[in-house]
């Protein structure tokens, strides 16, 4: 185990929801920036009052993790009302794009894009959110053919349920019991990252019998925090189960799915939320994640960590117990 593995990568600010990438041989981490405030928790996530982004970087996994300062603030984005939550980033044609969720002036979560010549910013936002976008937790995946996909969606405070009819409805029914569980949504970006080519569609996650997972199957069904990686031509969708606090994964033959549930990547961490990314660094795979150890368990004051991920040749992922090293 590396010296800083499973330890808070920075301690001077609270960070969460790390999207890790290797750009030009260097590791960059795009996290949420938790605000150090005291407030009650609720199911709509009002305790997550994030206002800006700081990009972290590391020369290697053994090196110091550097906070590169303010990269983008809600004050810089014309359409944002509040709550800039978990972002991701992608490099396209020599430019770096920060893809982020935030509530608009009507308190509806949308997906925005900002661009920079540097992976650490500062980023210049587009004037408006991506038309047709909704909900939270964007994860950007570039396939081998160069096509760029956005996966996102979160239940409860993430508002995914509120779009089941095709338009926003705060009173929309939440699937329950034997009803089909909701999955993440996906859409393909245009090459200039200014629009989706078509409206987002929902992804199906199936059980071992080829049946869609049920809403009551909280140990396996999707809740939030999607991520996509690809090995040997297979696509692996990973995500958080939310209420049961697992990171799970499913396998598919297409970036659009359907995906078949395969197992757990990580057992629960300290704190309510679980949000991760998976990245290959120097021929090995790593899981970036967060917990609340830095704050002693306060769910909206989190810290980013990483650990090695063991993936077999057939794509099977060994389950991580985050505190078995202690």
Catalytic residues: 17, 224
Q: In 10 A of CB 313, how many CB atoms?
A: 7
Output b/e per residue, 221-259; b: 16+ Cβ within 10 A: bbbbbbbbbebeeebbbbbbbbebbbbbbbbbeebebbb
Rounded Cα distance, 89 and 131, in Å: 19
DSSP 86-136: --EEEEETTEEEEEEEEEETTS-EEEEEEEESSTT---EEPSSPPTT--SS
Are the C-beta atoms of 284 and 278 separated by less than 8 Å? no
């Amino acid at each position: 185990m590396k010296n800083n593995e499973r330890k808070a990568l920075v301690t001077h600010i609270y960070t969460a929801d790390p999207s890790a990438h290797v750009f030009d041989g260097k590791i960059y981490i795009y996290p949420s920036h938790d605000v150090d405030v005291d407030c009650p928790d609720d199911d709509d996530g009002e305790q997550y009052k994030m206002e800006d982004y700081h990009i972290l970087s590391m020369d290697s996994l053994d090196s110091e993790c550097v906070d590169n300062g303010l990269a983008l603030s809600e004050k810089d984005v014309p359409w944002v009302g509040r709550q800039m939550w978990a972002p991701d980033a992608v490099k396209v044609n020599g430019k770096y794009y920060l893809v982020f969720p935030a509530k608009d002036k009507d308190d509806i979560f949308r997906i925005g894009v900002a661009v920079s010549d540097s992976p650490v910013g500062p980023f210049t936002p587009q004037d408006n959110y991506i038309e047709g976008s909704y909900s939270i937790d964007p994860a950007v995946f570039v396939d081998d053919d160069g096509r760029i996909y956005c996966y996102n969606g979160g239940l409860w405070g993430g508002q995914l349920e509120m779009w089941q009819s095709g338009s926003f409805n705060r009173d929309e029914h939440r699937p329950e019991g034997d009803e089909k569980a909701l999955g993440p949504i996906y859409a393909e970006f245009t090459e200039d990252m200014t629009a989706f080519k078509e409206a987002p569609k929902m992804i199906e996650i199936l059980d071992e019998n080829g049946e869609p997972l049920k809403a009551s199957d909280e140990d396996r069904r999707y809740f939030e925090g999607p991520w996509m990686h690809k090995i040997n031509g297979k696509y692996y969708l990973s995500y958080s189960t939310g209420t049961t606090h697992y990171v799970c994964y499913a396998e598919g033959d297409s970036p659009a799915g359907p995906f078949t549930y395969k197992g757990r990547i990580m057992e629960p961490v300290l704190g309510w939320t679980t949000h991760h990314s998976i990245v290959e660094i120097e021929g090995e795979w790593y899981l970036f994640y967060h917990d609340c150890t830095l704050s002693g368990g306060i769910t909206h004051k989190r810290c980013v960590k990483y650990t090695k991920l063991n993936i077999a040749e057939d794509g099977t992922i060994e389950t991580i117990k985050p505190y078995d090293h202690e």
